[in-house]
Each structure stands twice: as structure tokens, then as C-alpha cells.
Amino acid sequence: TGLEDRVHLRFALGKHFEDCAEHAASFAYYKGANALRKQQLNYSADKHRARIERHMDFFSAERVPHLPSSELKAADPIFIVGLPRSGSTLLEQILASHSQVDGTLELPNILSLAHRLRGRNLVSDRDRYPRILAELSGADLTSLGEDYIENTRVHRRGAPFFTDKMPNNFRHIGLIHLILPNAKIIDARRAPLDCCWSGFKQLFAEGQEFTYGLDEIGQYYRGYVDLMAHWDSVLPEGRILRVQHEDVLENLEEQIRRLLDYCELPFEAACVDFHKTDRAVRTASSEQVRQPITRAGQEQWRPFEPYLAPLKEALGEHS
């Protein structure tokens, strides 16, 4: 059997034995599936942490107020950031159920822009991005914002606002803030063990290379929380709205009203009936958002707790 087939089979067997409540066998298959998948990748937790720290160093409380910024007035984009399996698809579906919002995809435009700014000298000049942002003029940043609006238009259907649900954009909130000063940014947050375990047992179609090891996914979550706390400390108060997934499950309408108020949108009942909205969803949560709200995904890690020491250690105080 080929490697790719073995990866798929082991993930499937992990799910089968989980459904049968045979958790030792299930974990063995999940662990084996992730180990095989990791052989195909070249992810480094240390390099990721270094990137996080470069952003924290560059976007310091002293520097941010003096950076140039775009004069673009457009408030079209609603960015939803976080980790995969954090409830971000649910938030996107809620917003896409509103008459004034187009739900799009996990758009690659911001990641592509960051890659372009980073340039080719990735080894000799790793901190070129975000450092290069200080060398751009307000007109340069305005142009980058205009390019983003224009290049994402192909995914829209004419509503005044649209969602961009690329979760990894949390690393580039500083860039988003500079080129799209009126864009909304929503941080989809989920309890760490729920979020990380759900990611570990998911075979993603592409990307999310940090999810194929308990230590790696725990370190990634910790870096994400640290960077989001940094953005909160250096950007204007209220710039980012944090939505806790457990709060959405607890009181759906209250959190929807909070979400719509932040986006400066009137309340619409269709947002509460999000599962009735007919649109393409291309993430691992595609079937879940077609059903009413449910707590079925909470604490699925508990039967596997004897095996999660590496994850808890990596999460540290965040576990």
C-alpha cells in the first residue's frame, strides 16, 4: 500500500475505533497516521516561533503609532482568523447568512502578499518582512489595500461586505491593519484542548502542517495566543473582536448580536438560522454548519487524556 493510502486508512481507522469507544486502538491509529503524514512535510516549530517573535519585535508599542498607513476607506473585508477547528467556519456561516455579507473562501491573498514582501532571500534576510513595511509610504500601503480589494472581487456576488476566513492570517494582522485600516478582524477562539485535539485527528486537504504532532500543535496554539495578546496590546482598543466558541454554543443569539454590532450590521434572523443558508463550504466543518448548533464537539479529548501529556506540556499555562 502506498504511503498516501496508509495515511488515509489510519485516519479512517482512528475515527472508526473512536466511534466504537475503543480509545486505545483509536489513538494508536491517529498517532500512526500523523507520524506518517509528518514524514511528507518539513514543518519546524522553532522557525514558526521565530516568525511570531519577529512580528512582536517589529510591531512594538513604540513603533506602531509612527508607521505609515493606508488612506483606503474601504470597509468591505471581514477577516476571521484563528486556528483550524476553532469554530471559524461557524462564524463565517453566520455572517454569510446576512443579506449584506458575501461568504467567500479561505482566501490566499494576504498570505501571498506577505510572501511577496518577504522576497527571495529567505535565509540571508529572514526579517525582511515585516521590517520592509517601515520602508513603504502611505501611498504604497494604499495601493496594496486597493489590490487586495480588487483581486478578491472575483469571489464576491455583490454584497457590500465579504468574509475572508483564512485562519493563518492571524500572523499578518499588523499588515492587514496597515493596508486595510477599516477592515474588521474577528478572532475565533476555542478551548485549547478541544481545538488542538480536533486538529490532530483531522487529515487536512493541504497546509496546516503544524497539526501532525501533539507537541507541534500545542506550541503553535501557544504562539497564536501570545501573538493575539500582542496585537491586543499594540493596536487600538476594540480593533479585534474575540469570539469564544463556547460562548456561541451557550448563547447563540447574544453572540450573533455582538458579532453583528462589531461589524456594524443590523440584526437579521437568518443569521440565527445559519444552517439553512445554501452556500458552498470547503472546510473540514462543512457538514457541521449545515445543522443547528450542537455541543457534540466539546471535550472529545477527554477519553484520550492518558495519551495527551505532550500536548498539555506544549500548551503550558494555556492548557
Instruction: Spell out the SS3 assignment of the chain.
Output: CCHHHHHHHHHHHHHHHHHCCCHHHHHHHHHHHHHHHHHCCCCCHHHHHHHHHHHHHHCCCCCHHHCCCCCCCCCCEEEEEECCCCCHHHHHHHHHCCCCEECCCCCCHHHHHHHHHHCCCCCCCCCHHHHHHHHCCHHHHHHHHHHHHHHCHHHCCCCCEEEECCHHHHHHHHHHHHHCCCCEEEEEECCHHHHHHHHHCCCCCCCCHHHCCHHHHHHHHHHHHHHHHHHHHHCCCCCEEEEEHHHHHHCHHHHHHHHHHHCCCCCCHHHCCHHHCCCCCCCCCCCHHHCCCCCCCCCCCHHHHHHCHHHHHHHHHHC
Q: Is 280's pLDDT higher than 90?
A: no
What digits encode the pLDDT tens for the residues 47-76?
999 999 999 999 999 999 999 999 999 999
CB-CB neighbours of 121 under 10 Å? 9
Take residue 232 and report the three cell numbers written for it: 491586543
What digits encode the pLDDT tens for the residues 13-24?
999 999 999 999
Q: What is the mean pLDDT of residues 244-251?
A: 95
Q: What is the mean pLDDT of residues 76-88?
A: 95
Q: What is the mean pLDDT of residues 20-44?
A: 96
Judged by average pLDDT, the poorest of 50-54, 141-145, 278-282, 307-311 is 278-282
Q: Looking at residue 77, what is its pLDDT?
A: 98
What digits encode the pLDDT tens for the residues 105-147?
899 999 999 999 988 655 556 689 999 999 999 999 999 999 9
**Higher model confidence: residue 287 or residue 102?**
102
**Higher model confidence: residue 124 or residue 38?**
38
What digits encode the pLDDT tens for the residues 220-237?
999 999 999 999 999 999
- 304-to-194, 235, 294 alpha-carbon distances in Å: 11, 39, 21
The closest of 172, 162, 170 to 83, measured between CA atoms, is 170
Take residue 251 and report the three cell numbers written for it: 448563547
Question: What order do you get walking across the sheet with 77-82 strand by strand?
Answer: 101-102, 161-164, 77-82, 184-189, 240-244
CB-CB neighbours of 228 under 10 Å? 18
Q: What is the mean pLDDT of residues 169-180?
A: 98
Q: What percent of the chain has pLDDT over 90?
A: 86
Q: Looking at residue 67, what is its pLDDT?
A: 95
Q: Looking at residue 186, what is its pLDDT?
A: 98
How many Å apart are CA 203 and CA 29, to the nearest integer? 12
- Residue type for 268, please? E
Average pLDDT of the chain, as a whole number: 93
Q: What is the mean pLDDT of residues 214-222?
A: 97
Q: What is the mean pLDDT of residues 147-170?
A: 96
Q: Is 279's pLDDT higher than 90?
A: no
Instruction: Categorize the per-residue pLDDT at 294 as very low, low, confident or very high, splitting at 50, 70 and 90.
Output: confident
Q: Looking at residue 275, what is its pLDDT?
A: 85
Instruction: Categorize the per-residue pLDDT at 318 as very low, low, confident or very high, splitting at 50, 70 and 90.
Output: confident
Q: Looking at residue 125, what is its pLDDT?
A: 63
